[in-house]
Amino acid sequence: MWLLVGSLLMLRRRRAERNITYAALTIAIAMTLNIDPVYRMLDGLAGGVNAVTLVADVALMFGLFFLGHAVMKASAYQPWAVRLVLSRFVLVAALIAAVVAFLFIDRGGTTTNFMLDLGAQPAAAAYSMIQFSYCGIVLTAMAALAARQLRSSTGVQLPPPASLLVGSIFGVVLSVVVITMDLAHVASNLELMAAISVAYGPIFLLTIFFLCLGFAGQPAARALQARARERRTRVFINELGPIWAEATRVRPGISHNKHVPFHTDEPETLLHRQVVEIRDAMIDARVAFEVEDQDSELVERAERHLLRAGSSDSAPIDAPATARKGQQR
């Protein structure tokens, strides 16, 4: 989890959206607090009443809240039920219920097997069930959003939502397993609890693995797409170079105006200027500038690339100069 936090801080350092980073950070804190030596040390400092268990579980619930928001913001599909489940109201209600249940638990001294030692108490069972019910509900909403996102994704954008979907499904199964264990424990059916507990470890690891893979994969996939787009932009710049040179020879554009800033080191800006000035020369009746069909098709493909349209777009996009024919820009 801390490796994921570090990866997200590097891959998403320039993005304003921080929900994924907050989620990874809070879940990493929750998991760190559950490491036995760390737990014993911190709980000893807190008075030896297992208060660190509550801190870790609250951090986990906040982490799931941030995870759900990150997935929801990345999806155009946001039905009211999903928005309600992932709302602050539901989080606050779950937190209050969990804290109240926790206060009724006879916690004794520090124990690193909190639910195994205390799960027979109805208050402890209620505490665990509230927490994992919230987890299961949030992960169900995340699975619905990830499935929707998966259907609209292509190429390198496919693996992240697929991983999120699988991780969310495992997380829901994990919640069901834990709730079943809680019910079996409080009912004194220890054989059933022991039988079900075998599945807890593997499902927990699979949940964390696929969720981490999905959330780390999203910024990585965007970075790969950005690099591929930049390479494609530079290819267009090179291919349009001779046509642009001829167009600006017969009709000088803004790129030849020394009083107007023009950043040729920005590929997207340069390609946009090439397309605009080629189009201006093509539609300006005062100059003699014609292009062959293959060159005209190249300009259209460059336009679609700039507008992030797919290659299936059959109609060229008119340059802004069509509305100002004959004006120098």
Residue 84, CA distances (Å) to 61, 93, 141, 173, 184 in order: 16, 12, 10, 22, 31
Q: Give the pair of three-digit tokens for residue 119.
A: 């799960």
**CB under 8 Å to 242, separation ≥6 — which residues?**
none
Q: Give the pair of three-digit tokens for residue 5.
A: 């936090």
70's enclosing H/E stretch is: helix 51-73
Residue 204, CA distances (Å) to 151, 160, 223, 317 in order: 26, 19, 29, 51
Q: What per-residue confidence (pLDDT) applies to 279?
A: 84
Q: What per-residue confidence (pLDDT) applies to 319?
A: 35
Give the pLDDT of the chain (329 residues) as one tens digit per residue: 888 788 778 766 666 668 888 888 999 999 999 999 999 999 999 989 999 999 999 999 999 999 888 878 766 667 788 888 888 999 999 999 999 999 999 988 899 999 999 999 999 999 999 999 999 999 998 898 888 888 877 776 788 888 889 999 999 999 999 999 999 999 999 999 999 999 999 999 999 889 888 877 766 667 777 787 788 888 888 888 888 888 888 787 766 666 556 666 678 888 888 888 888 888 877 877 777 888 888 888 888 888 864 433 333 333 333 333 333 33
- Classified as helix, coil or strand, 185 is helix
Q: Give the pair of three-digit tokens for residue 26.
A: 């809070």
Say if residues 138 and 185 touch (Cβ distance below 8 Å). Answer: no
- Tracing tokens 């170079």 back to the chain, one arrives at 241
Side-chain-side CA neighbours of residue 290 (13 Å)? 3
Q: What per-residue confidence (pLDDT) applies to 320?
A: 34
Q: What per-residue confidence (pLDDT) applies to 313?
A: 35
Q: What per-residue confidence (pLDDT) applies to 17?
A: 67
Instruction: Tally Cβ neighbours within 10 Å of residue 293.
Output: 7
107's enclosing H/E stretch is: none
Residue 162, CA distances (Å) to 27, 93, 143, 165, 167 in order: 21, 30, 10, 5, 9
Rounded CA-CA distance 228/224 in Å is 6
Rounded CA-CA distance 123/50 in Å is 15
Rounded CA-CA distance 268/262 in Å is 12
Rounded CA-CA distance 329/229 in Å is 27
Q: Give the pair of three-digit tokens for residue 148.
A: 């929707």
Q: What per-residue confidence (pLDDT) applies to 181?
A: 95
Q: What share of the chain is helix, strand, coil (3-state, %, to 5)?
A: 75, 0, 25
pTM score of the predicted model: 0.70
Rounded CA-CA distance 66/70 in Å is 6
Please choose, from the candidates 64, 62, 61, 67, the residue with its C-alpha nearest in 3D space to the C-alpha of residue 20: 67
Say if residues 61 and 134 touch (Cβ distance below 8 Å). Answer: yes
**CB under 8 Å to 293, separation ≥6 — which residues?**
none
Phi, psi (5° rounding) for residue 303? -60, -45
